[in-house]
A and B are shown apart, each in its own frame.
Chain A
Amino acid sequence: EAGVAQSPRYKIIEKRQSVAFWCNPISGHATLYWYQQILGQGPKLLIQFQNNGVVDDSQLPKDRFSAERLKGVDSTLKIQPAKLEDSAVYLCASSPSWGVSPLYEQYFGPGTRLTVT
């Protein structure tokens, strides 16, 4: 079974530039998550999708961050414009479903390491 795929793996941009990350979840997984992980900290949830609908985006800085999952499969996370404090690893995760069983496992991708200079 293929895992969660993310690209690019690394990105370096200057502040005020824009950047986009892509995630392809495990086939058949209805729920997709984007996390931000600052160096030395645990991941922080940015947004959660169930199929192509948003379940929770309460911690997404909506003035600069946006995310979409148009066909309920792949997802993109965009930052526009980037700030220095956005430097972090952006992790995508997927799980079979949400709200049905709290024991559903989340499978994480390798992450995209963003450096804003």
Chain B
Amino acid sequence: KNQVEQSPQSLIILEGKNCTLQCNYTVSPFSNLRWYKQDTGRGPVSLTIMTFSENTKSNGRYTATLDADTKQSSLHITASQLSDSASYICVVSEANAGNMLTFGGGTRLMVKP
């Protein structure tokens, strides 16, 4: 069964600090991995998408890494801002299954002043 596990479940950091969120998956065969940001009361918004051959991708202060061998990904947030407070969801797409996505449970990040 395809699964995506995220850690920690929740995290509180002070504004300006860095943090790293983890994602482990068992989806096979692997197609791509996405990180979404979901603000309270909103739908998820894509931050990055990485294929098998990519091991790092940045989007502003967000940097995602992918190790397809160990089936792990991380999302690093640099110099956090209050607006970074949200849920971050790791999503893995299975190859040969159209665009079928397996969602992780998310990490709820709170950035405090």
Contact = CB atoms under 8 A, between A and B. Distances in A.
Partners in one complex: yes
A42 B91 CA distance: 9
Most B CB atoms within 10 A — which of A41, A99, A102? A102
Contact of A42 (B32, B43, B95, B104): B104
B100 interface: yes
Interface residue tally of chain A, by bracket?
Answer: 20 to 34
A93 B43 contact: yes
Sorting the interface of chain B by its residue count into under 10, 10 to 19, 20 to 34 or 35 or more gives 20 to 34
A102 B44 contact: no
Contact of A40 (B32, B41, B105): B105
A111 B43 CA distance: 6
Nearest to B90: A42
Interface of A: 4, 31, 40-45, 55-56, 91, 93, 95, 98-99, 102-106, 108-111, 113
- A-B pairs with lowest CB-CB distance, top 5: A108-B43, A42-B103, A102-B31, A99-B98, A42-B105
